[in-house]
A and B are shown apart, each in its own frame.
Chain A
Amino acid sequence: MTPATSLLSPADVDAIWLTLKLAGTTTVLLLLLGTPLAWWLAHSRARWRGVINALVALPLILPPTVLGFYLLVAMGPDGPIGRFTAAAGLHALPFTFAGLVLGSLIYSLPFVVQPIRDAFIAIGPRPREVAATLGARPLDAFFSVILPLARPGFLTATVLGFAHTVGEFGVVLMIGGNIPQETRVVAIQIYDHVEALEYTQAHWLAGGMLLFSFVVLLALHLLNDRRAQA
């Protein structure tokens, strides 16, 4: 047990650092993978677009421990993901940082894809048509016209994806195995403190997390407001 005199133990600091690393990695990957997906969802006329939309939204509804349990089974030696990683000569994913990133990608997917998709829909076809008449190639038009217009959507997606991953608990609980500096994130550390009756340390970590989340959301609103006024 850590003496109550120090506010954060080295294990707490490790957990905070790991959480930020996980949320950062997940957010960057989701922006890269989620943008093409959001574009497709916004513009495709395919009949199964509805199916994909529903699949993207599914992590919003599934209890995280359920999602985590099926990830644990899928990543296990007999599961499809586990067989794939074994065949590819990769390390098994459960109890690793890479496994947590994969879990977080699924868990936070709707929080990144949906705001970007809605931003693309809100822009509509008009700016692209104008850009095309002015001679811009589609990719050029996307980067110089669409992306700047969709910036509020991307801002929301980034902040929500990051914050939601920071707050992740159930999935990590199921696939993490509580290994320091590898899978023991802040939410797990708080849970352990509470279970061990170390309420003071739990309060400090939880309070910090609450403050962090509030500041992030406040900053998002202020930024969006300023843009709306500009």
Chain B
Amino acid sequence: MLRRCRSLIAVALLATMPAAFAGELTVAVAANFARPVEVMAPVFTAATGHQLRISTGSTGKFYAQIQRGAPFDVFLSADEARPALLETEGRIVPGSRFVYSVGRLALWHATPGRTLTPDTLRADIAGRVAIANPKIAPYGAAAAAAIAHLGLTDALGPRLVHGENIAQTFQFVATGNAAFGFVAWSQVSENGAVVRGSAWLVPPDMHPPIRQSAVLLRHGADNPAAVAFMTFLKSDAARQIIRQHGYDVE
């Protein structure tokens, strides 16, 4: 009995060993990519033993916070520009910057079962059309480019409302206050199929690619957990999760 107890204790101790050596990292992630990272977290922990702390927010705010020494180890940006700026400013580990996902744009309507095409916007002229603010959100810039590509810039101009980010743009349509919206494909699809409302996946040649960069920040340079997460992001397991959530990978 005593021996059995002892072996149980030994097993229990062994089981906690990885945790004792395991590290922790804090990742600042652009709001549009929060969901895939949440799904990745347990997979990453199971593979490496490291814990992931997730902080979500807007790319612009994270940039400003990182400039002022925010304690993030990894930054998953919604664009390429801000990580590139951080690199020239010497705030990242040189050579760590890479494109972890490419966002896809979708024209979206809150009611399911409708067939959406670019002609929907020409024919259905009632109601607002929501896009993310093109000046500050990559999905907004992509939406503006797609609208220009379709020759609808002048026709849609007075109908446009701007969300501050892609989540708010989604919300304007979901609450019925805008008839249509250009949202992230990742917000309305799962495994390549539309799961909310009706959507049209905008062909990628209609707008500049929404390439999202990841960087290992100076704060995480000596953190094994942070280095492991950067490697994990490039693994097949991670890339599969990214694709399942409606993003392309390069």
Chain A residues, CB < 8 A from B177: 72, 75-77, 92, 94-95
Bound Cα distance A92, B61 (Å) = 32
Q: How many Å from the CB of A56 to the closest CB on chain B? A: 26
Bound Cα distance A94, B179 (Å) = 13
* B-contacting residues, A67-105, CB 8 Å: 69, 72-73, 75-78, 82, 92, 94-95
Known: A76-B177, A194-B64. A95 touches B161 (CB 8 A): yes
Bound Cα distance A205, B190 (Å) = 42
- Whether A192 is near chain B, meaning CB under 8 Å from some CB there, is yes
- Whether B80 is near chain A, meaning CB under 8 Å from some CB there, is no
A-B CB contacts (within 8 Å), total count: 59
The one of A75, A177, A195 in contact with B128, judged by C-beta atoms closer than 8 angstroms, is A177
- Whether A228 is near chain B, meaning CB under 8 Å from some CB there, is no
Q: How many Å from the CB of A37 to the closest CB on chain B? A: 29
Bound Cα distance A178, B163 (Å) = 7
Known: A72-B171, A73-B175. A196 touches B60 (CB 8 A): yes
- Whether B133 is near chain A, meaning CB under 8 Å from some CB there, is yes
The one of B61, B85, B133 in contact with A178, judged by C-beta atoms closer than 8 angstroms, is B133
The one of A77, A177, A192 in contact with B161, judged by C-beta atoms closer than 8 angstroms, is A177
Chain B residues, CB < 8 A from A92: 177
- Whether B164 is near chain A, meaning CB under 8 Å from some CB there, is yes
CB pair B176–A76 under 8 Å, yes or no, is yes
Bound Cα distance A191, B136 (Å) = 10
CB pair B136–A95 under 8 Å, yes or no, is no
CB pair A195–B136 under 8 Å, yes or no, is yes
CB pair B128–A95 under 8 Å, yes or no, is yes
The one of B61, B163, B172 in contact with A195, judged by C-beta atoms closer than 8 angstroms, is B61
- Whether A230 is near chain B, meaning CB under 8 Å from some CB there, is no
- Whether A197 is near chain B, meaning CB under 8 Å from some CB there, is yes
- Whether B130 is near chain A, meaning CB under 8 Å from some CB there, is yes
Known: A95-B161, A177-B128, A179-B161. A196 touches B171 (CB 8 A): no
Q: How many Å from the CB of B33 to the closest CB on chain A? A: 17
Bound Cα distance A78, B136 (Å) = 30
The one of A76, A78, A94, A197 in contact with B60, judged by C-beta atoms closer than 8 angstroms, is A197
Known: A77-B176, A195-B58, A195-B61. A177 touches B136 (CB 8 A): no
Q: How many Å from the CB of B161 to the closest CB on chain A? A: 3
- Whether A173 is near chain B, meaning CB under 8 Å from some CB there, is yes
* B-contacting residues, A39-91, CB 8 Å: 69, 72-73, 75-78, 82
Bound Cα distance A179, B172 (Å) = 14
Bound Cα distance A76, B128 (Å) = 12
> B residues engaging A (CB < 8 A)?
58, 60-61, 63-64, 82, 85, 128, 130, 133, 135-136, 161-164, 168, 171-172, 175-177
The 4 closest A-B pairs by CB, nearest first: A177-B161, A195-B60, A178-B162, A195-B136
Supplied contacts A72-B177, A94-B172, A196-B136, 9 more A-B pairs, CB within 8 Å: A77-B177, A95-B128, A178-B162, A179-B161, A192-B133, A192-B164, A194-B60, A195-B58, A195-B133
